[in-house]
Amino acid sequence: MPSASIRYLGFIIRFIVLGLAIAFVIRWIAPSLTGASPDSPSANPPAATANNSASMVSAEGPFSYNNAVTRASPAVVSIYANKITTVRQYRIVPDPITRRLFGAIAAGPAYRKQEHSLGSGVVFSADGYVLTNNHVIDGADDIQLLLSDGRVAQARIIGADADTDLAVLKIDAADLPTIAVADQGEVSVGDVVLAIGNPFGVGKTVTMGIVSATGRQLRLSAYEDFIQTDAAINFGNSGGALVNARGELVGINTAVYRNGGGDGRSGGSQQDAEGIGFAIPVATAKAVLDQIIKHGMVIRGWLGTEYADLDAITPRNPDVQKGVIVLGVLPGGPADQAGIGRGDILLRVNGEDIESQAALRSMEAGLAPGSTARIDGVRSGSSFSVQLQVMQRPSRIATSG
């Protein structure tokens, strides 16, 4: 009798387990048969997960930057510049004494050769003002622009500024698509950026990356505040647009880092480092553009001195935390007339602290020629203050930076 009861109880337990298993399977395969609401979280967990994922994607950024490209790309043009140069071949004399005395010997008559330069540009006005890099069109006799609609236009140079490596071109056209400029023009490390240009002449190309750093100094030109990016920039991209995720211009692509020498601005044999490109900030580019259109050149103030950061010349003086040290003074220039001399430490211009030699170069460039500037500094441990008459910066001078 007890064994029969145990068998009967086992049968009941197996029946209950089987029923629960069948109910579980039916609930997942056909929830409507169980009376569960499809809208309830427990009835449809995948939908809840999808909604959370969509919300996260919306907060982090879009899947596509097509809208940004569509907005900016029509204002980017391809530039083909040609120039005629005189070339002469030379033969190296094997004898070292003769070579020192006479150098290389001409191997034949000089001949004329046509050179080609490839780059990109950005349309800033509907009537045909285009901004590009100076090194793209420097010395060119013939400049052709390929527009986004397939037209080819002859361009002329309005003005160039070697100190920032920028140049302004003009084509005879109307109703051209123009670039949208970022309101503040400021970018932060980590911002998504797109580089638009014509690398190696393959056609208009868009590459994506982020802002890797800001305020980079490469000593390629006098005024530098480069945006560094890992968006691919190649030969032919120079002068093209660097835009943000909204398609607004934040920089003009200008150079890549070369780990084998060179300045990264031309298609030479040097070895390019990957993911290290540089662009001129749009604020600098726009200021140069406006001045060239207005004056045909960039007008900058000048103090008539060469200077460097304190750390570059001498160990940091604990009593002087900021400023630059004067390396040389142009005879008869503003600083010389004001009594500033070699070794003086300059601390402030018109009451504004000098953070570095790059900052001072920008500060003096912003001074109006003919205006008076107050310079505060330290000389042989004693403070001094002088007034000087600002001059216009010569078009090309040697700089310490």
Alpha-carbon distances, residue 96 vs 88, 90, 101, 107, 265 (angstroms): 22, 16, 9, 18, 35
d(CA 174, CA 304): 43
Beta-carbon contacts of residue 368 (< 8 Å; ≥ 6 apart): 301, 390
In this structure, are strands 90-91 and 105-106 parallel, antiparallel, or unpaired?
antiparallel
Q: Residue 54 in 3-state DSSP?
A: helix
Per DSSP, 7 falls in state: H
What are phi and psi for residue 213, nearest 5 degrees?
A: -165, 165
Instruction: Give the residue among 301, 259, 252 at the shortest CA–CA distance from 276.
Output: 259
b/e burial code for range 81-114 (CB count within 10 A of at least 16 → b): bebeeeeeeeeeeeeeeeeeeeeeeeeeeeeeee
CB 362 within 8 A of CB 319: no
Instruction: Give the residue among 213, 193, 207, 276 at the shortest CA–CA distance from 237.
Output: 207
Structure tokens belonging to residue 7: 């068998």
CB 326 within 8 A of CB 340: yes
Instruction: Give the residue among 72, 237, 277, 79 at the shortest CA–CA distance from 168.
Output: 79
Beta-carbon contacts of residue 180 (< 8 Å; ≥ 6 apart): 71, 72, 246, 247, 248, 249
Tell me the residue length of the chain: 401
Cα dihedral value 398, 400, 237, 196, nearest 10: -120
Structure tokens belonging to residue 207: 């590459």
- Concatenate the DSSP letters of all residues of 266-279 into one string: S--SSPEEEEEEEE
- The model carries a pTM of 0.71
The residues that bridge with 310 in the sheet, in sequence order, are none
CB 157 within 8 A of CB 145: no
Tens-level pLDDT at each residue, the chain (401 residues): 456 666 666 666 776 766 676 766 566 665 555 555 444 444 444 444 444 444 444 445 567 999 999 999 999 999 999 987 666 666 666 666 665 665 666 666 666 677 888 999 999 999 999 999 999 999 899 999 999 999 999 999 999 999 899 999 999 998 999 999 998 768 999 999 999 999 999 999 999 999 999 988 776 666 778 999 999 999 999 999 999 999 999 999 998 876 655 555 555 444 556 789 999 999 999 999 999 999 999 999 999 999 988 876 655 555 666 889 999 999 999 999 999 999 999 999 999 999 888 889 889 988 999 999 999 999 988 999 999 999 998 875 443 33
d(CA 151, CA 170): 15
- Concatenate the DSSP letters of all residues of 282-328 into one string: HHHHHHHHHHHHHHSS---EE-SEEEEEHHHHSPPPTT--S-EEEEE
Q: Which residues are catalytic, by number?
A: 135, 165, 238
